[in-house]
Amino acid sequence: MRLWVDADACPNVIKEIVFRAAERAQIETILVANQSIRTPPSRFVRSIVVPGGFDEADSAIAERVEADDLVVTADIPLASRVIAKGATALNPRGERYTADTIAQRLSIRNFMEELRGAGVQTGGPAALHPRDRQAFANQLDQWIAQRRR
């Protein structure tokens, strides 16, 4: 059981929640990014730097993830790859992606990408709200508790 973080775009406040959970539950936690990521001194937390390039961090996670692992990511295609391998995917807002919901999320993502490609301004995601942080922490705690049983 490992916890992977798609760290390039993961908000720092979410990383802090992950760091605390890794220590508390003593779970191996790996942050993957295209650049060096600051991690606390811990025997449970480390980072992997991958070469820069499109989806390099995502590919590194997808290649290494195993069925009992959790991946923290807002990247829908990565979440789909993770689910296909039998692992769990959770976004930083506390939404747990599932086999039942990932196809719809991919469809929406692709539609929005088409709109942006056509020059339509679609706006970005809303700012991370305290309730998002709480939802994330709750989902992370649930995942840890389920794995401990």
Structure confidence by residue, pLDDT tens digits, 34-81: 999 999 999 999 999 998 877 899 999 999 999 999 999 999 999 999
Q: What is the DSSP string of 68-80?
A: T-EEE-S-HHHHH
User: CATH number of the domain at 2-148, out of 1.10.600, 1.10.150, 3.40.50, 3.30.43?
Assistant: 3.40.50
Domain boundaries, the chain: 2-148
Angle between helices 130-148 and 12-25 (to 10 degrees): 20
In sequence order, the β-bridge partners of residue 6 are 32
- This prediction has a pTM of 0.87
